[in-house]
């Protein structure tokens, strides 16, 4: 059977590509190795954050943003240093994406029915100089409906096209090879996997019950990255981040395995920037796991005291929410693969959120009533559930009890009460004046100048050892594998290139498989809100290219 386009991957990038093709009346085959229950891929599980520049939401909050400021931040964060080779197309994709985020991105999504939470988040604050890493202003726009809310308009289009017979959708079809004729990609071959009734994100079987071969004018690889394959993550781990962690949690399902990258490479494609990746440092074990080694990331405000495994405070700017990979490197250089937050009940009530659609039922369900519960006393419901059931939390009314509990959780006695007490007392003394030399306290006060942070994100600075602010809380933090920043190198049309820099005719890539564009649009680090956005933009680019 012959199609106009075969799209491999039913995640966000694949759905955006397919929806553009459907609008152009193209005949599309959509394949994925997972069951239909996982339609929408990783995006469905996401918090739904999108990078927008100079948006109405920003302007209403008094945020002055611009395309030039965003591009300055992107370059300072990406650190592109392979300009004539692996970064050649990545830089061009990056500039096009920033233009998109400062231009038609919001209006395009708004026309599709996407709406945003009115408070803009401030992720990756940096903590360096003006031209260094980080967002100079808040740019993290949360979709009303979180991950499912951003998937929904594209899913609706594609589901209707499936019903109308325009899209042939085949889950449990695993691509094993590209079909190549005279150097051109003309189709795919693979294995039909046994039907599976597992729920969304759960690990499915790999039992083969048949084979397939399909042909098309073009094949689009939109199959994601390697975050669920820890063996491959460690194989690609860069020395600059320190030794690869001995243990990691997974922030993505097991099917995010990187298979299609190897298959495309075998078919002549070039994979670039393998050593660039994005993993989180604030992971906790999910007490109700959906996939293997399931970790949840804490989205912290800036007030928690961050200590290494021996109880020593990290140096600036390793504060919560400032520099993900910088802090990852600092943690791994200690010789341990975990660290600690120490905070108070007042901090956790205002500053702790958990990443993911399932951990934010108020935003995901678009419930104003549930949302208003966030301003009441007490930790948010999902956070409280981890405080009650999570293995990484210690709650105590005195510091000696807290440190004893931390040692018990870690299974060691390396944490010293006098050492930790000394550091907290020193920190608390800095709060006696409206000014201070402690850079974290300065950053906390600076954050509260932003209305959004003051309203819902940053607690009023207070002494941790004052019982009125307690109880005290400690959280053991693990490394959580997440995103692949490198990938298949593509030109601005999304066409995959070979090792000589020439197009592999008939082969295209979008989303994480393409490093979110060009084989690594982020360079070394992300400004956040740019992963979903990269899937949207690259999927749209490829879909529109193949619609002509």
Instruction: Tell me the per-residue pLDDT of 138-161, one tens digit each, with 9 for 90 and over.
Output: 999 999 999 999 999 999 999 999
Half-sphere exposure at residue 517, Cβ-oriented, CA atoms within 13 angstroms: 28
Share of the chain above pLDDT 90, in %: 96
DSSP code of residue 392: T
User: For residue 187, what pLDDT is reported?
Assistant: 98
Q: Are strands 393-396 and 305-308 parallel, antiparallel or unpaired?
A: unpaired
Tell me the average pLDDT of the chain.
97
User: For residue 328, what pLDDT is reported?
Assistant: 98
Residue 536 above 90 pLDDT?
Answer: yes
Residue 383 above 80 pLDDT?
Answer: yes
CA 500/CA 328 separation, integer angstroms: 34
User: For residue 367, what pLDDT is reported?
Assistant: 85
Helix or strand (DSSP H, E) at 329: helix 324-332
DSSP code of residue 490: B
DSSP code of residue 137: S
Instruction: Tell me the per-residue pLDDT of 199-233, one tens digit each, with 9 for 90 and over.
Output: 999 999 999 999 999 999 999 999 999 999 999 99
CA 58/CA 181 separation, integer angstroms: 51
| DSSP codes joined into one string, 198-251 | --TTS-----EEEEEEEEEEEEEE----STT-HHHHHHH--GGG-SPPSS-EES
CA distances from 87 to 81, 93, 336, 409, 506 (A): 7, 10, 32, 43, 23
Instruction: Tell me the per-residue pLDDT of 332-372, one tens digit each, with 9 for 90 and over.
Output: 999 999 999 999 999 999 999 999 999 999 999 988 877 77
CA 269/CA 373 separation, integer angstroms: 50
Short-list 143, 120, 62, CA closest to 456: 120
User: For residue 368, what pLDDT is reported?
Assistant: 83
What's the whole-model pTM score? Answer: 0.97
Residue 53 above 80 pLDDT?
Answer: yes
- Cβ of 468: how many Cβ atoms within 10 Å? 9
User: For residue 376, what pLDDT is reported?
Assistant: 72
């Amino acid at each position: 059977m012959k199609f106009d386009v075969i799209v491999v991957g039913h995640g966000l990038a694949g759905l955006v590509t397919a929806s553009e093709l459907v609008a152009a009346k193209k005949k599309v085959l959509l394949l994925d190795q997972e069951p239909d229950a996982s339609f929408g891929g990783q995006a469905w599980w996401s918090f739904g954050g999108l990078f927008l520049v100079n948006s109405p939401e920003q302007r209403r909050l008094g945020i002055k943003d611009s395309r030039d400021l965003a591009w300055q931040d992107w370059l300072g964060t990406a650190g592109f240093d392979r300009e004539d080779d692996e970064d050649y197309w990545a830089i061009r994709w990056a500039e096009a994406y920033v233009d998109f985020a400062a231009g038609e991105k919001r209006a395009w999504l708004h026309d599709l029915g996407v709406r945003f939470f009115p408070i803009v988040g401030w992720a990756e604050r940096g903590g360096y100089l003006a031209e260094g890493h980080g967002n100079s202003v808040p740019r993290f726009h949360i979709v009303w409906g979180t991950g499912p809310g951003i998937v929904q308009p594209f899913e609706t289009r594609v589901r209707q096209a499936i019903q109308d017979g325009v899209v042939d959708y085949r889950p449990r079809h695993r691509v094993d090879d590209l079909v190549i004729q005279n150097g051109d990609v003309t189709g795919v071959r693979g294995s039909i996997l046994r039907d599976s009734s597992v729920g969304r994100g759960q690990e499915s079987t790999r039992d083969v019950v048949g084979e397939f071969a399909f042909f098309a004018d073009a094949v689009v690889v939109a199959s994601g990255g390697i975050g669920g394959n820890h063996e491959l993550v460690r194989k690609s781990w860069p020395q600059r981040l320190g030794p690869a962690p001995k243990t990691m949690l997974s922030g993505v399902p097991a099917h995010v395995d990187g298979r299609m990258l190897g298959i495309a490479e075998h078919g002549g494609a070039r994979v670039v920037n393998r050593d660039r990746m994005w993993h989180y440092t604030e992971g906790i074990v999910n007490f109700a796991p959906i996939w293997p080694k399931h970790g949840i990331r804490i989205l912290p405000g800036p007030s928690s005291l961050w200590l290494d495994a021996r109880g020593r405070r990290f140096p600036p700017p390793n504060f919560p929410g400032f520099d993900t990979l910088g802090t990852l490197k600092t943690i791994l250089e200690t010789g341990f693969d975990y660290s600690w937050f120490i905070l108070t009940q007042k901090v956790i009530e205002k500053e702790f959120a958990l990443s993911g659609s399932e951990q934010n039922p108020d935003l995901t369900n678009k419930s104003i009533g549930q949302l208003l519960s966030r301003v009441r006393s007490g930790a948010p419901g999902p956070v409280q559930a981890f405080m009650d059931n999570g293995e990484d939390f210690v709650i105590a009314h005195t510091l000696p009890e807290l440190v004893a509990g931390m040692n018990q959780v870690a299974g060691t006695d390396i944490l010293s009460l006098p050492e930790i007490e000394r550091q907290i007392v020193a920190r608390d003394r800095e709060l006696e004046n409206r000014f201070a030399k402690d850079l974290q306290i300065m950053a906390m006060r600076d954050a509260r100048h932003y209305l959004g942070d003051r309203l819902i994100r940053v607690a009023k600075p207070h002494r941790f050892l004052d019982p009125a602010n307690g109880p005290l809380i400690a959280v053991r933090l693990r490394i959580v594998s997440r995103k692949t920043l490198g990938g298949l190198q593509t030109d601005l049309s999304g066409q995959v290139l070979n090792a000589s820099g020439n197009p592999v005719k008939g082969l295209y890539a979008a989303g994480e498989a393409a490093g979110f564009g060009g084989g690594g649009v982020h360079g070394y680090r992300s400004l956040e809100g740019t992963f979903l956005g990269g899937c949207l933009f690259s999927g749209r680019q490829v879909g529109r290219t193949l619609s002509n």
